[in-house]
Amino acid sequence: MSHKVIIPIGPYHPLQEEPEYFRLYVEGEKVVDIDIVIGYMHRGIEELSEHKHFDQVPFLVERICGICSTSHPLAYVNAMEDLAGIEVPERALYIRTIIAELERIHSHLLWLGLAGHFIGYNTVWMWAWKYREPVLDIFEMITGNRNHYAMMKVGGVRRDIIDDDIPELKKTLDELIPAVNMFKGAVMDDPVIQARLKGIGILNRQQAIDWCVVGPTARASGVNIDIRRDDPYAAYDKVSWNVIVEKEGDIFAKTKVRILELYECIGIIRQCLNKMPKGAFDADIKEIPPGEGIGRVEAPRGECFHYVKSDGTNRPIRHKIRAPSYVNVASNKVACVGGTISDAAITLAAVDPCYCCTERVAVLKKVDNKKILNGWDLIKLSQEKTAQLKEGLRDGKSG
């Protein structure tokens, strides 16, 4: 008779910035159920926002996430501009697009590195983060900060991108292309990575629709949605690019979508730099009328949604925020069940959640409580599986 074993993952892990807690129910090697417990990072930002005036809110919502930190302010200013019917100067729209796409590049590279680490490719981890570094340097050059750029404000942007900075920006992008080419080759043509990621953690199209997932998680399952194209904001209706959609729904498809999106990001930024007109980058806002507005942004992880209601005072009376991970993390309930423990770490990480956690892993056998694994063991299990695959492949070739 098999007995269920519970593996708690989380809530804290030094690798990641956000704690979540997954309780895996395991029979033998197989994951049979999962509980997802969140709330460790609940800071009451929706309530806090009701106590800030409209110009302070972007700084508050920027601190929701440390990785996609410009998506929230951008969604918020979109909502405010929808509410008040504000015309934004064209230059500001282009600057917003450039910042948002640079952010997507660094976010996807960050995920690629972490994913590599989880399956035992620490070289990919180091490389990805090495090539992410110049993007952060670009942010520092044009906004003053490597993260939390504070660029968005209602009616425009807070800082212009000066002409002197543009050659350096272009040069960084040019240098990034060979790196992305290398990742594309290293990940997509590697038989071990294919063996580790193909057919694992599948979220099929119907499940993706029922769980309302967004972003690369949805696009890897054949759901063709992208807010940049569907509900264009900033300058996305003025540039051309492709929406990457894959059908398989496994982790390999999610990886492929993100890697191919890097090329599109670079293309969008180049077009913006060429098309960006001179002129004002900030509109003059007199007052915010009573009403309600909705703003959406395609963040690196998917649709970021902000709803703002105003009663004519200088503060929102309701500000609802839905980050993409809110729906994507919930879908782990189906993606993880049925897989093995050694695939759990990468499956849970595959939606690119503002994820956290595998440090305090303890395998507790319900019966005797004897076997306690320490923090790194879940990642180790995952890395060992890759090593075994590599060995098997080598033996197969020599034999």
Least distance from C-beta 68 to other proteins, angstroms? 17
Least distance from C-beta 92 to other proteins, angstroms? 19
Whichever of 15 and 212 has its CB closer to other proteins, that residue is 212
- What are the tokens at 390? 């590599």
Whichever of 186 and 337 has its CB closer to other proteins, that residue is 337
Least distance from C-beta 182 to other proteins, angstroms? 34
Least distance from C-beta 40 to other proteins, angstroms? 9
- What are the tokens at 179? 């790196």
How far is the CA of 291 from the CAs of 38, 54, 85, 340, 380, in angstroms? Answer: 32, 14, 10, 50, 53
Least distance from C-beta 212 to other proteins, angstroms? 3
Whichever of 131 and 236 has its CB closer to other proteins, that residue is 236
Least distance from C-beta 77 to other proteins, angstroms? 15
Whichever of 179 and 212 has its CB closer to other proteins, that residue is 212
Whichever of 297 and 378 has its CB closer to other proteins, that residue is 297
Whichever of 119 and 308 has its CB closer to other proteins, that residue is 308
Whichever of 34 and 38 has its CB closer to other proteins, that residue is 38
Least distance from C-beta 253 to other proteins, angstroms? 19
Least distance from C-beta 219 to other proteins, angstroms? 12
Whichever of 221 and 386 has its CB closer to other proteins, that residue is 221
Query: Can you give the binding site for other proteins, defined by CB under 8 A?
Result: 38-39, 42, 44, 46-47, 82, 85, 209-213, 225, 227, 230-232, 291-294, 296, 303, 305, 307, 309, 317-318, 320, 322, 326-327, 330, 333
